[in-house]
């Protein structure tokens, strides 16, 4: 079998790949990587930085390319075959990862280099790579006795399989639910675009009527605008019950198994909890620091959130006689109140946010800040016809990156939005190998009468993911292990969150917010209303975000073995942040993919942590002009291009000239004057 994944390829050869190619390519990649590692271990020369640390970081290149293609497809364009292969491949990859991290002979060579590091005249980047590599071995059991190494292998294999199963269950639950409406009166309140999309979705499945699903572009407009309270309730309950239906897609046992296995793993490695293990390598350093950070913001946000909730309750009572505000009422009445207070709703804004215009806008902003140019190309292989591809160059015309963008929901695509990469940036053999970066979103599709028009929230999502993409595209490091987004997890959200700030600025909005029919630039009064409404219900939004961070820490900062009921544990944790009445049939943890499938376990707090950084960073831009070239260049040089080559606070201070102050965030959120 001629396997396209085993040839040397630059761009991923999607059109040539069939499911049958993946497993042989992964096995082959593992085999080659093992030989590369054996060559390092058996090198007769004394261990040096180049023959051990550098050689290890440049190894596994084929395996990295193959697995990036495979796992990206498993998220963005999966099917039953790919999911089965993932279940088979994950234990193999987990075993291989353990073969490396538990290899005592390899660790001994690394340790030799590490112990003489002061005498080696290493660059800051080389020092960081050496420290990272040494810690990755010492922290992951390289010096454990053989019996305990075997235990660790079993734990890691089981964890990788459970995490995959968790994600598959959430996706299956999302795809399984459909609410077919045949009476147009049931769509009362829904914007025309959302009705049209629901009709088109029904037609695509040979059904008559309007089809509503749990995909965000279908779910969000319905719970935001539909006047029918019972149907909002039905949809909200279905959304909140993913993985919590006591059936074959139930995730309760999986959650308990994952947190217990993570705890056992941490204990085996000498840490008191999974959070202690994880945070040792983050800016926050300890669970205590995370708790005090979250609780400090909670103290400021809670009074504001309670005031906002009372305001919302009395508004709903006055408008519709609602005595008790429920979760299926929250977004609906928030939107109604926003319309009343600011005369602003997404339906007024959406005509100004045609997807293609927003893409052009984010490209223009990247050009004005960082000198980048984006040219759409059709000569790059894609995994789906909807994917767009761009060649990215700098102001001098030099090639910077290949950029993939995938914007609309499909049955084989998980919900949400994310940035990923198909090829890492690195410098090797005197060549600066440039990255292939991708963003994946789930935005409203075009309909027969309208292009894809984004809600303002979708606009900020696109900017957020594009900020991550810039971190990948502008990477300029020697080693792949430190390149792009390979940074401390609580630093990785800075580039993404800081870019969202441009969505609220007149100078930026006027570049791309143009009416899709008339090309009229968004009126000044709407810009003012966007800015005024930016902190609307910010206390409640902050409380919600903090509740997720606290839930994550409650699972991971203690011994979870005494927790037997997922829902009860969750209720206890949410006690300090709950505003709405609890729903017995709903559970957050069973669909909390960030921490049980993604990489955010003991790290969800980092969104808020990075908000402190981004508010402080953007304050610097605002003081000097949001398109100030000098500050943009400093951000590019000290943050975006540097990846994980130095301590993140050192990089941040080099850009900003000082440590970040939380006041900028609290002021921006309207929580302090």
Q: Which residues are catalytic?
A: 465
CB-based burial of residue 473 (10 Å sphere; 0-12 exposed, 13-18 middle, 19+ buried)?
A: buried
CB-based burial of residue 398 (10 Å sphere; 0-12 exposed, 13-18 middle, 19+ buried)?
A: exposed
Q: Classify each residue of 260-273 as buried b or exposed e, where b means 16 or more C-beta atoms within 10 Å of its C-beta.
A: bbbbbbbebbebeb
Tell me the two tokens of residue 163.
């995490």
Return the CA Rg of the chain: 25
Spatial CA neighbour of 426 closest among 644, 214, 594, 573:
644
Do 419 and 386 touch, CB atoms closer than 8 A? no
CB-based burial of residue 623 (10 Å sphere; 0-12 exposed, 13-18 middle, 19+ buried)?
A: exposed
Beta bridge partners of 413: none
CB-based burial of residue 373 (10 Å sphere; 0-12 exposed, 13-18 middle, 19+ buried)?
A: middle
Do 46 and 116 touch, CB atoms closer than 8 A? no
Residue 292: other Cβ atoms inside 10 A: 11
DSSP secondary structure, 160-215, as one string: HHHHHHHHHHHHHHHHH--EEE--GGGGTT--HHHHHHHHHHHHHTT-SSEEE-SS
Handedness of CA 69, 71, 76, 77 (dihedral sign): positive
């Amino acid at each position: 079998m001629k396997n396209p994944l085993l040839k040397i390829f630059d761009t991923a050869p999607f059109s040539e790949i069939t499911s049958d190619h993946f497993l042989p390519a992964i096995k082959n990649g593992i085999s080659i990587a093992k030989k590369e590692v054996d060559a390092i271990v058996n090198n007769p020369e004394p261990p040096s930085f180049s023959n051990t640390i550098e050689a290890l970081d440049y190894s596994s290149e084929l395996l990295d390319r193959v697995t990036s293609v495979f796992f990206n497809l498993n998220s963005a364009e999966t099917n039953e075959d790919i999911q089965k292969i993932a279940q088979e491949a994950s234990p193999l990859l987990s075993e291989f990862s353990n073969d490396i991290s538990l290899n005592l002979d390899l660790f001994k060579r690394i340790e030799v280099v590490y112990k003489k590091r002061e005498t080696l005249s290493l660059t800051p980047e080389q020092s960081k790579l050496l420290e990272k590599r040494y810690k990755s071995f010492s922290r992951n059991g390289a010096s454990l006795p053989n019996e305990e190494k075997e235990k660790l292998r079993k734990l890691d294999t089981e964890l990788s399989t459970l995490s995959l199963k968790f994600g598959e269950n959430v996706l299956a639950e999302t795809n399984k639910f459909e609410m077919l409406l045949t009476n147009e009166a049931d769509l009362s309140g829904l914007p025309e675009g959302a009705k049209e999309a629901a009709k088109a979705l029904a037609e695509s499945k040979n059904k008559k009527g309007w089809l509503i699903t749990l995909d965000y572009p279908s779910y969000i407009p319905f719970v935001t605008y539909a006047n029918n309270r019972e149907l909002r309730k039905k949809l909200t309950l279905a959304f909140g019950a993913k993985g919590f239906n006591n059936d074959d897609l139930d995730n309760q046992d999986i959650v308990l198994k994952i947190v217990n296995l993570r705890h056992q793993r941490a204990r085996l490695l000498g840490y008191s909890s999974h959070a202690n293990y994880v945070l040792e390598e983050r800016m926050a350093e300890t669970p205590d620091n995370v708790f005090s950070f979250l609780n400090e913001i909670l103290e400021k946000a809670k009074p504001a959130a309670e005031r906002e909730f009372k305001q919302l309750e009395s508004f709903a009572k006055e408008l519709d006689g609602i005595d008790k505000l429920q979760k299926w009422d929250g977004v609906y009445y928030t939107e109604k109140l926003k319309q009343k207070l600011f005369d602003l709703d997404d339906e007024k804004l959406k005509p100004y946010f045609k997807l293609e215009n927003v893409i052009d806008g984010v490209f223009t902003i990247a050009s004005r800040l960082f000198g980048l140019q984006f040219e759409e190309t059709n000569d790059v292989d894609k995994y789906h016809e909807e994917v767009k591809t761009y060649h990215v160059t700098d102001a001098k015309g030099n090639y910077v990156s290949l950029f993939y963008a995938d914007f609309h929901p499909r049955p084989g695509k998980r919900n949400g939005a994310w940035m990923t990469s198909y090829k890492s940036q690195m410098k090797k053999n005197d060549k600066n190998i440039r990255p292939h970066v991708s963003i994946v979103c789930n935005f409203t599709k075009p309909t027969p009468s309208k292009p894809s028009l984004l809600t303002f929230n979708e606009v900020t999502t696109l900017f957020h993911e594009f900020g991550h993409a810039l971190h990948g595209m502008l990477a300029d490091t020697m080693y792949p292990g430190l390149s792009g987004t390979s940074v401390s997890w609580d630093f990785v959200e800075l580039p993404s969150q800081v870019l969202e700030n441009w969505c609220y600025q007149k100078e930026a909005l006027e570049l791309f917010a143009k009416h899709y029919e008339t090309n009229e630039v968004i009126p000044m009064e709407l810009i003012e209303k966007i800015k005024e409404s930016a902190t609307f219900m910010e206390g409640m939004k902050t409380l919600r975000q903090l509740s997720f961070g606290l839930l994550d820490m409650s699972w991971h900062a203690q011994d979870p073995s005494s927790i037997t009921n997922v829902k009860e544990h969750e209720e206890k944790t949410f006690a300090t942040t709950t505003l709405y009445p609890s729903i017995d049939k709903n559970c957050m943890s069973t669909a909390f993919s960030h921490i049980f499938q993604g990489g955010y376990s003991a790290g969800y707090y980092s969104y808020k942590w990075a908000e402190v950084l981004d508010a402080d960073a953007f304050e610097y831009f605002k003081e000097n002009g949001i398109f100030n070239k000098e500050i943009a260049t400093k951000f590019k040089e000290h943050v975006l291009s540097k990846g994980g080559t130095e301590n993140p606070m050192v990089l941040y201070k080099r850009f900003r000239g000082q440590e970040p102050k939380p006041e900028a965030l609290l002021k921006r959120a309207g929580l302090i004057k």
